[in-house]
Structure 1
């Protein structure tokens, strides 16, 4: 560690983080609260947040270069990773490999999970939605 740089502990409270969502509704109904992101907090190498889904809420099929993890806090849902369904419920953690296609559908009581990326900032994560890459899928999502 450089003597001029001192590591600082950072505390974030999810209840005080603003609720965010995608601008394009074709990406799903998920909302999230960013807890750690280098452009907002004194953190680096880790982006962390809480994803929140209402009943039957969705995050449509997408991929991104960094790997990601989910850790379920409440509710239940199905996370499909490269075509394989995984049940997500409280206490269950999922690792999503880099560039794996994945999507989420919440159960009837909604879903809330912690997510994280090994990135300095959330804005560094380039979401590539499958419907945007496939014109046939894009037309189906618009219906």
Structure 2
């Protein structure tokens, strides 16, 4: 059974002139809610114009199947390791590693021991980005 938990943004700001984000605090809140071994938890921490930042945790053995984003993305490993596949090449990413992927480029993520990463997406205007 696959479970996915998305934490409500009703109790915090996602946009503003200047926001300070505490990744350690966001990560601690997510860790308490991480579901079973095939689960994932995602928390949007910024949604401003074309920019989206989402903190994502995958449990041990977790995966995000092959998909593509509408805009360019970066993925930064925060804790744990992941295997990030792009165009048939698998990149092993650990804490501090960042990968950049262009719009509409298919990619997939797997993790053996679990991982938390920060996903940044620059959304194009046609799907709700900046006007």
Per the normalisation by structure 1, the TM-score is 0.62
Q: What are structure 2's unaligned runs of at least 5 residues?
A: 1-15, 31-37
Q: Could you list the structure 1 runs, at least 4 aligned residues long, displaced by more than 6 angstroms after superposition.
A: none
Match of 2:19 in 1: 10
2:68 to 42, 63, 66: 63
- Select the residue among 30, 47, 52 that pairs with 2:40: 30
Distance 1:93 1:16, change over 3 A: closer
User: If you compute each CA radius of gyration, which structure gives the higher value, 1 or 2?
Assistant: 1
Instruction: Tell me how far 1:30 sits from its aligned partner.
Output: 2.9
Helix, strand or coil: the match of 1:117? Answer: strand
- How many residue pairs match? The answer is 104
Higher-helix-fraction structure: 1
**Residue 86 to residue 16, structure 1, CA distance change in 2 (3 Å):** closer
Structure 2 length as normaliser, TM-score?
0.68
Shift of 1:92: 0.4
> Shift in Å at residue 59 of structure 1?
0.4
Structure 1: runs of 5 or more not aligned: 1-6, 20-27, 38-42, 126-143
> How well do the aligned residues superpose, as a CA RMSD in angstroms?
2.8
**Equivalent residues of 1:48, 1:115 under 8 A apart:** yes
